[in-house]
Chain A
Amino acid sequence: MSAHEPFDLIIAGVGGQGSLFASRVIAQAALLEGISVRVAETYGVAQRGGAVFSQIRLGYDVCGPLIPKKTCPLILGLEPIETLRRATMYLAPGGEVVLNTNINAPLETKMGRQPSLDLPTIRTELERLGAGSIEEVDALAVALEAGGAATANVVMLGVLSSVDTFPLSYDAVVKSIEKTAKAASLPNNLLSLARGAGR
């Protein structure tokens, strides 16, 4: 697709996973490529462990920051339960899901006081919602190989940048990370990005 056709993307995760950093990197990469971008973030009161949800809209002339229901072509899932939560409302039929397989269950679920969801169930549910493809990545394992758990979000950005329909280039994402990340963590971030992208 042409880089300037409108494209929507959702990032779903929980607090502490660096999903706000991931959306910032994408927005900055869009700016570097001269593609219009609008990002809306929704996050709860709690610093850690709350649901975090970014809506990223690329290449529009004028648009609101909120993505219409059932129209999102691509969801970057940093956490599987949160991915299913957003996919239920926003995923377009045939839409793609890039999924970090590391489940972070809410406490009440760990306590057995509300239903739990395992990966096969989440996969089945995403298929039932009409997902066109589900690419599963153990981002934590890849990040640990690349130098630390903290860059699992960047591993996922790497996977994202290798998705065909994603309108931003790998190079733009690299440049954006160079601009966005702190200097000390830059080598780890770039290595994680490359591993995620299979480079």
Chain B
Amino acid sequence: MTLNPTLLSPTPEEPLLALGNEAFARGAIEAGVQLATGYPGTPSTEIMETLIEAAPVLGFSAFWSVNEKVAFDVATGASFSGARALVVTKHVGLNVAADSLMQLNLVDIAGGLVIISVDDPGGISSNNEQDNRLYAKMAEIPALEPSTLEEARELTRRAFEISESLKVPVLIRSVTRLAHMTSALTLGTIEAPHKKPHFDSSRQWSPFPPLAPHGRLQKKLRQAAGMLDAFGVDTWESNGTERLGIAAAGFAYNYAREAVDRLAVNNRVALLKVSSVNPLPRALIRKFLEPLDRVLVVEDVAAYLEEGLLLEAAAMGKLVEVRGRRSGALPSTGETLPDDVVDALDALVEGTPPRLPGEAAKPASIPNRQISFCSGCSHRTTYYALAQAFDNLGINDPIVVGDIGCYTLGFFPPFNILQTMTSMGASMGTAAALAELNPHRKVIAVIGDSTMYHAGMPGLLQISHQRLPVTVLVMDNSVTGSTGQQPHPGSWQNSDARTLVPIEDLGKAYGLPYVRVVGSFQLKKLPGILEEALSSDGPAMVVSRQACALEPSEIGRRAIVATIDEALCDGCLACIDEFGCPAFVPAADGLGKIEVEALQCTGCAACKFICPPEAISFVRRDSPPT
């Protein structure tokens, strides 16, 4: 994405149009962040992208780390130096950093350390939906949940203040719909540059022994309650006569307010907006609950606030019906949807039992749009070569273990080749056991370059050390592709003076006896190399290398375009059914032959050898195909 220069303006200007993620970035800038890092992950990526572009202009440090734990530890070092540090992650990334979080929370940090976690309710761009507010609870750290772009900016600033004054990391929980919402943003003032980094060697920076720090942490959390209260981030809208209430956590406040407005029940329903996730605003919750008979809680993913209200009601000895995701008044899975909130509020007001929404009627007659690899994508040719290698060796029961990235589309047609996929880097360990327990079958672990650096390396080391017959097929497209081509330690396009660490060097250093690198588009060569690897006894690594088709230096690079000789094309459909490049389409004359959509074709020429009647050739783009 391109940086909107207004985001760097030192003082407030006219409101600008911004993405939620840009609002978080601006909040960090206003707080005088000195170091920002993270690992790409939809829907969080644009926060770091904005900060990376802003950093050289404003003179702070921002860069991608190889994974979220490294990012968290880097931020830890910055905080120990007295610098304000930001970690940006999608929800699952915090799992990777959790080990560090669960111990740094016990240390008196120096510079403010803020973690922005963008959760993905409904798993729109993820394998799961998980609620990272629960991490704040487990780690006993302060946490905030903004409801608008303004709050995203403002609460990010506040989070730095709380973190630095209480010497404890602070979590901000965002969600996809806030992260990717475009709306107006009003700016605040950028704080003067923070104090110069200095590491204080006169003290120790460790939680050990843990008991005293744990008590100290709990005291910090009690102090945080006072600070959050003073900030006034939580609001209670009431005329003092309502017997009904709706409570909303963070972004879900928008759905709650909209439902109240739509049903025009403003006079009958008190409204509580809770942006303090941890600790919850207990006093305000008590005031809200006191006069009420029934409450609906609106929030994304877990019944976190709903349980908080139930506990508070129990502690007050107050009998109140609390409805929400836990009670079944709202769906317990999936993102919050406006119609569900309206239905649940309507039932609350009417005093009728909650009615769960039925299955949405799916319009049967509208054709689906299947997703596929882009034209010019190296994953397509690598899977094509792998299928060929299986054929050539007569392997009909391979075990193909997948990992996280665009290549996960290998689960779908035309390849249907992957069989497992769990978390980042999991292909390595999973393949290790599959190879050990299924000795008569060939086991292939498919992993991307960025995923290998992120969490594949320890598992690769174990495969090598245990000498397991796993073929590690690295789909190396030189960038973190699926999140928008961010660089990593193997990105050769990265022109600054950083050390390149190619994947094959890892394989060699880890002692794998067979390591080969081959271009992904070399379909004369790649299947044979894969066959060699599959035929070897021990662990083997094949790096299939070709830059992502969407990497900026790749776009528009080739001056040729594929063309099909109509006389030779016999309509066998191999280019569609076995290769599946979107540039191949049925010819417009409807006679069963194929033609090339010239605007789709990148000229990668990888299809040169895939056509049985050899009808594919290439012409210069500026001369029309004959």
| Contact segment of B73-81, B359-367, B556-564 | B359-367
State which of B124, B181, B183, B585 has its C-beta within 8 Å of the C-beta of A110.
Answer: B585
What does the 1/0 interface line of A121-137 toward B look like (CB < 8 Å)?
Answer: 00001000000000000
**Which residue of B366, B409, B573, B576 has the most chain A CB atoms within 10 A of its CB atom?**
B366
Residues of A within 8 A of B369 (CB): 14, 44, 49-51, 106
With a CB–CB cut-off of 8 A, which chain B residues contact A68? 262, 338-339, 342
Decide if B201 is an interface residue (CB 8 Å cutoff).
no
Q: Is B619 an interface residue (CB 8 A)?
A: no
CB-CB under 8 A from B550, the residues of chain A are 47
Interface residues of B in 1-41 (CB under 8 A from A): 15-17
Interface bracket on A: 35 or more
Closest to A36 in B: B184
Complex interface: stretch among A23-31, A156-164, A186-194: A23-31
Q: Mark A74-105, 1 if CB is under 8 A from B, else 0.
A: 00000001001100110000000000000001
For B582, the closest partner residue in chain A by CB is: A49
B258 in contact (CB, < 8 A)? yes
Q: How far is the CA of A65 from the CA of B338 in the complex (A)?
A: 9
B368: interface (CB < 8 Å): yes
Choose one: A23, A48, A63, A117; the contact of B257 (CB below 8 Å).
Answer: A63
Complexed CA–CA distance, A89 and B338 (Å): 13
Whether B337 is near chain A, meaning CB under 8 Å from some CB there, is: yes
Q: Which residues of A contact B124 (CB under 8 A)?
A: 42
- B533-559 to A contact mask, C-beta < 8 Å, 1/0: 000000000000000001000000000
Closest Cβ–Cβ distance, residue B367 to chain A (whole Å) = 5
Q: Enumerate A22-66 residues with CB–CB distance to B below 8 Å.
A: 23-24, 27-28, 31, 36-42, 44-51, 60-66
Closest to B371 in A: A46
Contact of B182 among A39, A60, A114, A116 (CB under 8 A): A39
Expressed in whole angstroms, the Cα–Cα distance for A39 and B181 within the complex equals 5
If A27-B17, A39-B183 touch, whether A111 touches B576 (CB-CB below 8 Å) is yes
Q: How far, in angstroms, from A36 to B184 measured CA to CA in the complex?
A: 7
| Least distance between A163 CB and chain B CB atoms (Å) | 22
From residue A81, how far is it (CB to closest CB) to chain B in Å? 6
> How distant is the Cα of A60 from the Cα of B586 in the complex, in angstroms?
46
CB B476 to nearest CB in A, in angstroms, measures 19
Listed in ascending order, the chain B residues whose CB lies under 8 Å from chain A are 15-17, 124-125, 177, 180-184, 253-255, 257-258, 261-262, 336-339, 342, 360, 363, 365-375, 406, 409, 482, 550, 573, 576, 582, 585-586, 600
Closest 6 CB pairs of A and B: A39-B182, A64-B254, A62-B257, A64-B255, A46-B371, A88-B363
Residues of chain A at the chain B interface (Cβ within 8 Å):
14, 23-24, 27-28, 31, 36-42, 44-51, 60-69, 81, 84-85, 88-89, 105-111, 114-117, 125
- Supply 18 further A-B pairs (C-beta < 8 A) apart from A63-B254, A109-B367: A36-B183, A39-B182, A40-B181, A45-B409, A45-B482, A47-B374, A50-B369, A50-B371, A62-B254, A68-B339, A88-B363, A106-B367, A106-B370, A110-B585, A111-B576, A111-B586, A115-B365, A117-B367
